[in-house]
Structure 1
Amino acid sequence: MGAVVSHASAAAPPPPPPGYAPTFADAASSAPPPLTPPGTGKDAAAVAEEEEEEGEKVDYMNLPCPVPYEDLQREAMMALRIDTFEGFRFDFIKGITPFFSLCHSVSMVSMELPSQGADVIKVPTSNYEFGANYLHPKMVLMGRVSHDGRLSARTKWDPSENLCVKINAQLTSEPHYSQGMLHCDYKGKDFRTQLQLGNGAYYGGNYIQSVTKNLSLGTEFFWIGQHRKSGVGFAARYDTKKMVATGQIATTGVVSLSYVQKVSEKVSLASDFMYNPMAKDVTASFGYDYMLRQCRLRGKIDTNGVVSALLEEHMAPGVNFNLSAEVDHWKKDYKFGFGMSIGE
């Protein structure tokens, strides 16, 4: 769009003098000016996109529902909290009905023993677990029992579209090591809230609210009656189509920051920063998450000198192969593992 200038009526330029040869500077000066608005160095499409973003008004009566408080850093966790393992692991899942399945898990790994020196002491060990899963759109029941008597169970029940009840429990033969937790989640139009009850007189809760289309703020509290400890935390999350930035701080002094850059639909780069004054520990890590057609590659490196990588290969429908590696340069500890999973 714009004014149309006709060159037919313009007078023809005088001919160049004999022996004249145009230079590069003359050709550049005679070229038509770029299609940029006055006073800007951007093209019209970029300026129009910026004007559209600036002119978009925030509809505070129609804000999106934020992510759960416990999942504020889920994008960063996918790349930085990878499930590396050592040794061999094999999982077999057998579907009985469309909602019910049984699973068997065998692992042969090395268990680290505490030592006073810097050397790492490992003892080979093995483990077998038998589990059952019931997966329904409104209810999920999962249970695992190991050969040494440990029992773990998870329950998720959705009585309505806005209410969710979750129960996690772990029972062991050792005294004071059994745990249980009850979560009640409520999902509103533009907010989420959660109440928590656990053993040891644990009481907690959190609330997160969407402030704008991209920004959400939240807070949490907890009280442990058995240890007479309490705390309050605050969090913020800013997410767009290209990035996610989060920040959390608690009265215990813990500070957690994370940033994820979405390079494309299949590639993400992540980093985080953790400061714990109680343990006098400061850690920063950088990682990546790369989704290929039939595999997924994740890796990270942190300031403690630990380098980790995990490869998940989909060899065939229902058949997955995993490769895990971790190197701790400071402790001179090396871990390598591979695993196989069969079944849907």
Structure 2
Amino acid sequence: MASPVPIKVVSPPPPPPSPLHAPSGSAFANLYNRFATWRKALDLPCPGTVENLQKEVKATHLTNFFFDGGRADLSKNLSMNPAFQVSHSFTLGSQTAAPSYNFGAVFADNNLLMQGGIDHEGNLNARFNQGWTPTNVTKVQTQLSSSPGHSMIQVEQDYQGQDYALNVKAVNPSPVDFSGIYIGSYLQSVTKNLALGVEMLYQSQAPGMSELTASYLAKYTSSDKNWIATAQVQPAGIVQATYWQKLSEKLDVAADLQLMAMPQRRDALATLGAKYDLRMATFRAQLDSTGKVSALLEQRFAPTFAFLVSGEIDHFKNAAKVGVGVMIESSNLTPEEMEPLLQLKSVGCDKSKGQPIFSQVSFAVNDGDVVVLQGKSGAGKSTILKCIAHLNLYHGEILYRGKPPQSYGIPLFRTRVLYVPQRPSMLPGTPRDFLVAVSTFHTHRGSAKLAPKDGKPDCSSHKAIEVATSWGFPEELWDRRWSNLSGGEGQRVVLAIAVGLDTAEVLLLDEPTSALDAESSSTVEKRLISDLKSPDTNLKALVWITHSPEQGRRVGTRFLRVSSGGVQEEDVDPGV
């Protein structure tokens, strides 16, 4: 199946630790608050979870992708927001597994993921993730099998702090005798690049038969996020080290070294791999120290059809494996609805010839996304928004629902992908004059019609008026000249007009609350997120620039770090 639409429940980064509220004069409270203030001043990033410690290496190597024999994956997308997909998978002819069939279903929104599957033998598996807050996620996995000893249940709790990640899980826990496997892990940033952690495993088979072991973890991330090294020391003399590096926008390389030094066994396994992303294909290649050379090509001929071919040669055993597969995806959605809302491909912008502001910017914006752009001042964040809105010259490709903006006409495109500047221009007249004018434009007709009053368009009942009023902007200010409005008043009314017109599917927000106080900012944030989730508005995604890490954590679902060399997506926001 064109690989099933990736369903990812993104957990935005967590808030900083709040001071301890304790009785006045408490020495412990004073000590804790001083420690919390010092810790916050360090501005250390969240290191990510232990589960994702080697995520980049696993995504580069073939280990989780290789197959042999024949394979067919058929999927159907019934909804995009929330995401709902069903799939059928067939495998046969494998040298290592019997022929099988599996039916699966996935449902997901920003806070909830439910996934289930059943195979031809009646084995059932299910997964449930619930995000209670952006930092707190409960996970449950279960498997029910007719084979003795193959059924299991795992309950897990993830919490991510400002500069640490905590996870506890229980596998097949028994409330009667407390048998089962219990795992706890903690990963703490100690510098902006280095994180250290520990994972404890307690296993109890029966009363009086238990074992406790500890593993030690380290993760080093380069300042530009272009390379990551990890190490893990496990019990009984097992050491694993990994290294991943992004050599270019399209090429990733990774290495994995596993050492085993036990009294009865000494062994080592080294693996080198690379992943190369082409425009319509992904190629992975891998070589390990056991003499195995393997490769996998996923070639997508259309958004709904992909062909896969994989192969492995074991030089030491003089053996080989070959796999061929197809992935077909159907949908109730139109081709335009299946495309990303907005897509940038290798976009760049130059100050002058030979002086780029940024280059090779590539990312997609989908339904429900709140994409937070972050980076140093001058990195080009505002310029990226202006290029998207076709207010700046650029090179590369920008697509809206799979088509270039010119195919819609630039004036119409700018109402569907709407840029809201940080500081509104000093326009002639009043905000009411501006609202009446833009509401009568051809490209805005059908959004919010103005009833005539005394022979003139009347905007007193316009949605923009209602939005601005809810944000503390008195209606009489609509008749005040733009030049007489404060920075915060101008910012609120321009954003209220953008929301009230309700023509935009994507709002490009350039620090939309920078001139507002904390309470007003919170009110604006809540309205924008509410409109994004509401089926009664056209709004489907936000691209949001903010220099406030706290605001980024509150609103963001995805985080992109902007630099002169492009953008890098981050799982968590280390602070803007």
TM-score, length-scaled by structure 1? 0.76
**1:228 CA displacement:** 2.8
2:274 paired residue number:
288
* CA pair 327-60 structure 1, distance change in 2 beyond 3 A: farther
Partner residue of 1:73 out of 54, 78, 96 = 54
1:150 matched to 2:136? The reply is: no
Question: What CA distance in whole angstroms lies between the structure 2 residues aligned with 1:131 and 1:82?
Answer: 18
**1:186 CA displacement:** 0.3
Residue correspondence of structure 1 range 215-226 to structure 2 within 5 A = 215-226=194-205
1:268 paired residue number:
252
1:228 matched to 2:232? The reply is: no
1:86 matched to 2:87? The reply is: no
Q: Tell me how many residue pairs correspond in the alignment.
A: 276
Q: What is the identity, as a one-letter code, of the residue corresponding to 1:232?
A: A
**1:111 CA displacement:** 4.1
For the Cα contact (< 8 Å) 1:60–1:212, is it kept in 2?
Answer: no
Identity of matched residues, %? 34
Provide Cα deviations, 1:267-316, integer angstroms capped at 9, x if missing partner.
12211110133564310111111111111111111111111111112211
For the Cα contact (< 8 Å) 1:231–1:252, is it kept in 2?
Answer: no
* CA pair 60-324 structure 1, distance change in 2 beyond 3 A: farther
Question: What CA distance in whole angstroms lies between the structure 1 residues aligned with 2:134 and 2:257?
Answer: 35
Q: What is the identity, as a one-letter code, of the residue corresponding to 1:100?
A: F
Question: What CA distance in whole angstroms lies between the structure 1 residues aligned with 2:99 and 2:106?
Answer: 23
Q: What is the identity, as a one-letter code, of the residue corresponding to 1:197?
A: A
2:185 paired residue number:
206
For the Cα contact (< 8 Å) 2:291–2:314, is it kept in 1?
Answer: yes
Question: What CA distance in whole angstroms lies between the structure 1 residues aligned with 2:64 and 2:295?
Answer: 8
**1:104 CA displacement:** 0.8
Question: What CA distance in whole angstroms lies between the structure 2 residues aligned with 1:315 and 1:309?
Answer: 19
Question: What CA distance in whole angstroms lies between the structure 2 residues aligned with 1:249 and 1:60?
Answer: 31
1:131 matched to 2:104? The reply is: yes
For the Cα contact (< 8 Å) 1:215–1:236, is it kept in 2?
Answer: yes
Partner residue of 2:91 out of 107, 119, 144 = 107
Question: What CA distance in whole angstroms lies between the structure 2 residues aligned with 1:93 and 1:207?
Answer: 38
Deviates more, 1:202-211 or 1:252-261: 252-261
Partner residue of 1:300 out of 276, 281, 286 = 286
Q: What is the identity, as a one-letter code, of the residue corresponding to 1:163?
A: N
1:186 matched to 2:132? The reply is: no
For the Cα contact (< 8 Å) 2:229–2:243, is it kept in 1?
Answer: yes
Question: What CA distance in whole angstroms lies between the structure 1 residues aligned with 2:304 and 2:41?
Answer: 45
The alignment partner of 2:307 has SS state of: strand
The alignment partner of 1:158 has SS state of: strand
1:310 matched to 2:289? The reply is: no
Question: What CA distance in whole angstroms lies between the structure 2 residues aligned with 1:138 and 1:234?
Answer: 31
Question: What CA distance in whole angstroms lies between the structure 1 residues aligned with 2:324 and 2:297?
Answer: 9
Provide Cα deviations, 1:29-61, integer angstroms capped at 9, x if missing partner.
xxxxxxxxxxxxxxxxxxxxxxxxxxxxx9853
For the Cα contact (< 8 Å) 1:75–1:260, is it kept in 2?
Answer: yes
Provide Cα deviations, 1:193-217, integer angstroms capped at 9, x if missing partner.
0001111611011011111111111
Structure 1 runs of 4+ off > 6 angstroms?
none
1:332 paired residue number:
318
Provide Cα deviations, 1:257-276, integer angstroms capped at 9, x if missing partner.
11122211211221111013
Question: What CA distance in whole angstroms lies between the structure 1 residues aligned with 2:307 and 2:211?
Answer: 44
Gapped regions of structure 2 (runs ≥ 5): 1-38, 173-178, 331-576
For the Cα contact (< 8 Å) 1:275–1:282, is it kept in 2?
Answer: yes
**1:109 CA displacement:** 2.8
**1:100 CA displacement:** 2.0
Question: What CA distance in whole angstroms lies between the structure 1 residues aligned with 2:145 and 2:183?
Answer: 24
Gapped regions of structure 1 (runs ≥ 5): 1-57, 113-123
Question: What CA distance in whole angstroms lies between the structure 1 residues aligned with 2:327 and 2:284?
Answer: 18
The alignment partner of 2:59 has SS state of: helix
The alignment partner of 2:198 has SS state of: strand
The alignment partner of 2:258 has SS state of: strand
For the Cα contact (< 8 Å) 2:69–2:95, is it kept in 1?
Answer: no
Question: What CA distance in whole angstroms lies between the structure 2 residues aligned with 1:101 and 1:269?
Answer: 32
The alignment partner of 1:189 has SS state of: coil
1:238 paired residue number:
220
1:197 matched to 2:178? The reply is: no
Partner residue of 1:165 out of 126, 138, 146 = 138
For the Cα contact (< 8 Å) 1:162–1:187, is it kept in 2?
Answer: yes
Residue correspondence of structure 1 range 43-62 to structure 2 within 5 A = 61-62=42-43
Q: What is the identity, as a one-letter code, of the residue corresponding to 2:272?
A: F
Question: What CA distance in whole angstroms lies between the structure 2 residues aligned with 1:187 and 1:96?
Answer: 32
